[in-house]
């Protein structure tokens, strides 16, 4: 018989145990009903690998919308968020036809960003041609967001050919894509991955600032073998502001091109440092999640792979960053097996998510392949030390099928993150987060606006945020939230646990400037605007109205007047201010 003390202890432990995470698929009741069914005519195995989408606020109303390709058996779909109705339930209205993005084609990956700096997100879709005809090399689509017309109606205009994003490779191929400002010139460049065995098929395209792209792949040091690319992304891994180009690749071909910044000719160059970074554990890398999973303020890299159950080999990799070496290269160690996040079957999409607002990042992952043991999607719960346990079954996210894109969004703007799962030959799932701890704990969401600063890429790409609350500092980076062939909501989301005050929120912009806020209230969506450092009256313009407030700041010794950031106020700062007003706004 158990003692009274043992029973009391057991009851206390049961009471202290956190409630299971809870998600409910609300796709049908919200109207987000879409099936991805790839048709014959995709090259090789591409038809089985595809299934992407994108989340963005396309009409700038403060609510996330969802774009979902259909795979060629039906027109692509655009779901515009209608907000809560009379019942309180958020719904979506399918409006792809009205917006002009209802192509019926062989789609690949999707990425979204404001490519022409007009304040509205545009849409890039990898394509292999119209479904009514044969497959075509690089028939990619670039939908430019026209913004509202005189009646308030929004629309896209497809400008793939005139923008330079079609015909970029000579073979029928194309999977993941991502935007990022690799040269820090304030506009968003584009990377596109291709999987077929064709040497040099990865493409890096530079934006001229108007939304027109040119091939700059020659900047990339080429590896000794072909990159069988699945998903690229841009992220600064070593703190020098210049983003690295991180690519998952099949058959052990993943790479990180380290951005060396400008050379003597004022150009940017990239260098491969695979050995130095201790990469190579991933066997068949597909999906990619870059985040700080152990709260050491360094970005880690979680990659979905194929787990071979018979030999107990490969599987997902959890590259935890161990620090920077003497050459400023991050050094990684794969600890997926030791930390409980390895066995995900045939993995594809993945994303980080603090689903319970406890201040550490959990991992959502999905996958599946024909003629392979069906493995449910995973929901790895972080115990706070980057050790994980799968709770997908309890949470209701244990989808079994051919999961592909998997991305976070706050579709109902209630402060917790929901999940969008896109599946090949199946309907999309919209998992609403109803986790008790998410409601009980505090949180903060930060949305940034950077179009007011010509030196920063739109959407805050390249921004790093550092939040301190309850004695713990967390970090989040903004890079378009790519997963596998899909991208999530571009926002910084922090779980705070029981902390009811945010001591400091430091936002480090990609141009080297920073905004620091203190004593921030939690449980809110915080909107922060980045103004040019010389825009001293914060009106979004660099003009004569900034002269008087700059002079006051300079004479009073305000550190904000140190425009060259050398730690001293002198004539160099005045010259930098004058240059900014004259139009030479960016260093």
Taking residues 254-268, what's their average pLDDT?
85
Nearest to 96 by CA among 104, 88, 86: 104
Nearest to 54 by CA among 79, 89, 29: 79
Phi, psi of 386 (to 5 degrees): 65, 35
Helix, strand, or coil here: 176? coil
Contacts of 546 (CB under 8 A, 6+ apart): 534, 535, 536, 537, 577, 581
Q: What distance in Å separates the CA atoms of residue 339 and residue 196, rounded to the nearest whole number?
A: 33
Q: How confident is the model at residue 586 (pLDDT cuts 50, 70, 90)?
A: confident
pLDDT digits (tens, 9 = 90+) for 394-446: 999 999 999 999 999 999 999 999 999 999 999 999 999 999 999 999 999 99
Beta bridge partners of 380: 363, 390
Block residue for tokens 């959502």: 364
Helix, strand, or coil here: 49? helix
pLDDT at 82 over 80: yes
Contact (CB, 8 A) for 513 and 433: no
Task: List the structure tokens of 210.
Answer: 């108007």
pLDDT at 587 over 70: no
Contacts of 289 (CB under 8 A, 6+ apart): 301, 302, 303, 350, 351, 352, 363, 483
Q: How confident is the model at residue 302 (pLDDT cuts 50, 70, 90)?
A: very high
Q: What distance in Å separates the CA atoms of residue 158 and residue 181, rounded to the nearest whole number?
A: 22
Nearest to 190 by CA among 113, 270, 260: 113
10 Å CB burial of residue 267 (0-12, 13-18, 19+) is: exposed
Q: What distance in Å separates the CA atoms of residue 232 and residue 181, rounded to the nearest whole number?
A: 13
pLDDT for residue 585: 72
pLDDT at 11 over 70: no
Please state whether beta strands 492-497 and 502-508 pair in parallel, antiparallel, or not at all (unpaired): unpaired
Beta bridge partners of 482: 487
Least confident segment among 125-129, 153-157, 535-539: 535-539
pLDDT for residue 582: 85
Nearest to 521 by CA among 437, 446, 455: 446
Q: What distance in Å separates the CA atoms of residue 321 and residue 332, rounded to the nearest whole number?
A: 4
Q: What distance in Å separates the CA atoms of residue 479 and residue 233, rounded to the nearest whole number?
A: 7
Nearest to 176 by CA among 96, 74, 107: 107
Long-range contacts of 311-318 (CB under 8 A, 24+ apart): 313/283, 314/282, 314/283, 314/284, 315/342, 315/343, 315/344, 316/341, 316/342, 316/343, 316/344, 316/347, 316/350, 316/365, 317/281, 317/282, 317/285, 317/342, 318/293, 318/342, 318/386
Q: Compute the mean pLDDT over every residue in the chain, rounded to the nearest whole number.
A: 93
Residue 326's CB: how many other CB atoms inside 10 A? 5
- Please calculate the CA angle 35-38-41 and round it to the nearest 5 degrees: 160
Contact (CB, 8 A) for 347 and 316: yes
Q: How confident is the model at residue 18 (pLDDT cuts 50, 70, 90)?
A: low
548: left (phi over 0), alpha (psi -120 to 50) or beta: alpha
pLDDT for residue 19: 75
pLDDT at 143 over 90: yes
Contact (CB, 8 A) for 115 and 188: yes
Task: List the structure tokens of 375.
Answer: 């493995």
Q: How confident is the model at residue 15 (pLDDT cuts 50, 70, 90)?
A: very low
Distances (CA, A) of 451 to 120, 428, 541: 10, 33, 11
DSSP category for residue 220? S
pLDDT for residue 17: 56
* DSSP H helices in 141-293: 160-163, 274-277
Taking residues 553-577, what's their average pLDDT?
91
pLDDT at 565 over 90: no
pLDDT digits (tens, 9 = 90+) for 358-391: 999 999 999 999 889 899 999 999 999 999 999 9
What is the pTM for the complete model shown?
0.94
Q: What is the CA radius of gyration of the chain?
A: 24
Task: List the structure tokens of 146.
Answer: 């026209």
Task: List the structure tokens of 550.
Answer: 């700059």
10 Å CB burial of residue 518 (0-12, 13-18, 19+) is: exposed
Beta bridge partners of 258: 271
pLDDT at 25 over 70: yes
Block residue for tokens 């806020």: 517
pLDDT at 266 over 70: no
Q: pLDDT higher for 419 or 310?
A: 419
pLDDT for residue 578: 92
Taking residues 140-146, what's their average pLDDT?
98
Block residue for tokens 């313009």: 541
pLDDT digits (tens, 9 = 90+) for 223-249: 877 899 999 999 999 999 999 999 999
pLDDT for residue 256: 95
Q: How confident is the model at residue 493 (pLDDT cuts 50, 70, 90)?
A: very high
* DSSP E strand boundaries for 114-153: 122-130, 141-148
Taking residues 551-557, what's their average pLDDT?
95
Percent of the chain with pLDDT over 90: 83
């Amino acid at each position: 018989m158990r003692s009274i003390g043992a029973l009391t202890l057991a009851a206390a432990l049961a009471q202290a145990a956190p409630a299971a995470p809870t998600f409910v698929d609300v796709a049908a009741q919200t109207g987000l009903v879409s099936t991805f069914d790839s048709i014959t005519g995709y090259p090789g195995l591409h038809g089985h690998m595809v299934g992407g989408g994108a989340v963005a606020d396309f009409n700038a109303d403060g609510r996330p919308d969802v774009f979902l390709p259909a795979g060629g058996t039906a027109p692509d779909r655009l779901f515009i968020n209608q907000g809560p109705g009379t019942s309180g339930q958020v719904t979506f209205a399918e409006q792809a036809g009205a917006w002009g993005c209802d192509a019926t084609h062989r789609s690949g990956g999707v990425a979204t960003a404001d490519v022409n700096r007009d304040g509205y997100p545009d849409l890039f879709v990898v394509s292999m041609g119209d479904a009514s005809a044969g497959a075509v090399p690089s028939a990619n689509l670039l939908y430019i967001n026209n913004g509202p017309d005189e009646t308030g109606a929004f629309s896209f205009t497809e400008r793939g050919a005139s923008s330079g994003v079609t015909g970029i490779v000579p073979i029928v191929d194309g999977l993941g894509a991502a935007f990022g400002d690799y040269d820090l010139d304030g506009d968003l460049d584009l990377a596109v991955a291709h999987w077929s065995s064709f040497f040099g098929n990865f493409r890096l395209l530079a934006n001229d600032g108007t939304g027109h792209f040119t091939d700059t792949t020659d900047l990339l040091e080429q590896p000794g073998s072909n990159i069988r690319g699945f998903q690229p992304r841009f992220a600064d891994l070593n703190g020098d502001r210049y983003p690295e180009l991180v690519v998952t690749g099949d058959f052990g071909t993943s790479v990180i091109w380290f951005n060396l910044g400008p050379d003597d000719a004022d150009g940017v160059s990239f260098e491969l440092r695979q050995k130095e970074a201790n990469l190579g554990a991933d066997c068949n890398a597909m999906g990619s999640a870059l985040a700080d999973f152990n709260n050491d303020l360094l970005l880690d890299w979680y990659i979905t792979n194929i787990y071979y159950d018979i030999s107990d080999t490969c599987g997902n990799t959890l590259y935890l960053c161990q620090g920077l070496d003497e050459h400023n290269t991050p050094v990684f160690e794969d600890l997926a097996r030791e930390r409980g996040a390895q066995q995900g079957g045939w993995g594809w999409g993945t994303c980080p998510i603090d689903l319970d607002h406890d201040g550490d990042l959990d991992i959502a992952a999905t996958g599946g392949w024909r003629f392979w043991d069906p493995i449910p999607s995973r929901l790895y719960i972080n115990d706070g030390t980057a050790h994980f346990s799968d709770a997908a079954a309890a949470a209701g996210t244990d989808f079994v099928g051919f999961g592909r894109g998997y991305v976070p969004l706050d579709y109902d703007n209630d402060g917790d993150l929901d999940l969008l799962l896109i599946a090949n030959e199946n309907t999309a799932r919209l998992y609403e987060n109803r986790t008790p701890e998410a409601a009980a704990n505090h949180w903060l969401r930060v949305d940034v606006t950077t179009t007011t600063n010509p030196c920063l890429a739109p959407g805050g790409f390249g921004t790093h945020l550092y939040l301190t609350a309850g004695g713990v500092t967390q970090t989040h980076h903004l890079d378009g939230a790519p997963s596998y062939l899909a991208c999530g909501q571009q926002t910084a989301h922090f779980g705070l646990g029981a902390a009811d005050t945010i001591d400091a929120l430091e936002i480090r912009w990609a141009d080297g400037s920073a905004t620091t806020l203190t004593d921030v209230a939690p449980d809110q969506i915080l909107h922060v605007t980045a103004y040019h450092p010389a825009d001293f009256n914060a009106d979004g313009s660099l003009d004569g109205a900034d002269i008087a407030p700059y002079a006051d700041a300079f004479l009073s010794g305000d550190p904000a007047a140190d425009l060259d950031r050398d730690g001293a106020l002198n004539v160099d700062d005045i010259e930098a201010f004058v240059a900014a007003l004259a139009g030479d706004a960016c260093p």
